[in-house]
Amino acid sequence: MLRLGVLDQSPVRSGATPAEAIRETLALARATDRLGYHRYWLAEHHSTPALAGPSPEVLIPQVAAVTTGIRVGSGGVMLQHYSALKVAESFRVLETLYPGRIDLGIGRAPGSDQVTARALAGPLGGSIEDFPDKIADLLGFLHGDLPPEHPHAGVLAMPTGPGAPEVWLLGSSDQSAAMAAHFGTGFSFAHFINAEGGAAVTRAYAGAFKPSPLLAEPRASVAVFVVCAPTEEDARRLAQSRDLFIVRLYTGRLSRYPTVAEAEAYQYSPREWAIVEHARRRRIAGTPPQCRAGLEALAAEYGVDEVVVVTITESWETRLRSYALLAAAFGLTPRG
């Protein structure tokens, strides 16, 4: 049986506010915990009107506090912007507060435009070329095992203790997969961002995986955009909101997450319709049996036993219903 997780981007729908989006994150976490989902990951995006979550490390303890059994983590922290020591300290605090429930997902993407990325990095700047070194430093700080010759050897990421968060690298290309295999971390492929070659990349990660103190064997998942509804027609209708969202995103017209009515009224140019058709290859929209079959087929293609589900619709009710229908289709065991 597949494990199911949630990736929450804290979407801000048309007519709603970012504050409402954050409150919905907490409500969805409570609901999916009760439904029996395995993980709840919080995304990091900056200066993006449609996505309200810039600080997963701040939201994680709030989500963990209102849930009981679901693992909670970042999907992910954009490490290029930050000090490896500070990230290690934040997640050691979280692991101390919620032992055995915290995931540290790390991403390579900026999670923003380049101007915002420069503002996040500060006057000293940061470079994607430093990313492998930052991962090595982060793992060393988390586990207190920086090599003796390291310039920061002896620096402690507090609070110290025997536990540490699960570490995952997130990506939509072969680069993060190769680093995850090298460092012996988990790996999650963002199929909802890039559907090209993901299965081969994920299987290559498993083949190249080097056992580490973190993991003895490879651990991988695939993140997929899903809309589940009582009928296929309703699911495809609701998924039209994402069509317009993607077109606006790809053409630099950032705005709140659109309604179905907005999407249906929009006049797509031929170029924009090509974007829509390409993006639809990265989603699954249908009835509960159709979504289960689609996710099982995708998991088999990727060679994974875990799927992370991204669902955004025009209303809170249809979004929650989608997660509930999917949980029932997979026979998840409810909590509480």
Residues 6+ positions from 88 with CB-CB distance below 8 Å: 138, 141, 142, 157
* pLDDT computed for residue 155 by the predictor: 93
The pLDDT > 90 percentage for the chain reads 88
What is the tens place of the pLDDT at every residue in 57-115?
999 999 999 999 999 999 999 998 899 999 999 999 999 999 999 999 999 875 456 66
Q: How confident is the model at residue 166 (pLDDT cuts 50, 70, 90)?
A: very high
What is the tens place of the pLDDT at every residue in 222-240?
999 999 999 999 999 999 9
Q: How confident is the model at residue 3 (pLDDT cuts 50, 70, 90)?
A: very high
Q: Which fold has domain 3-329?
A: TIM Barrel (3.20.20)
Segment among 165-169, 252-256, 273-277 with least mean pLDDT: 252-256
Q: How confident is the model at residue 128 (pLDDT cuts 50, 70, 90)?
A: low
* pLDDT computed for residue 111 by the predictor: 46
Nearest to 103 by CA among 91, 116, 111: 91
* pLDDT computed for residue 110 by the predictor: 59
* pLDDT computed for residue 336 by the predictor: 78
Nearest to 76 by CA among 206, 203, 185, 159: 185
The domain spans of the chain are 3-329
Helix-helix angle 18-35:316-329, to 10 degrees: 20
Q: Higher model confidence: residue 121 or residue 221? A: 221
The pLDDT > 70 percentage for the chain reads 94
Secondary element (H or E) of residue 325: helix 316-329
Q: What is the pTM of this model?
A: 0.95
Query: By the 8 A CB rule, do 258 and 313 touch?
Result: no
Query: By the 8 A CB rule, do 209 and 218 touch?
Result: yes
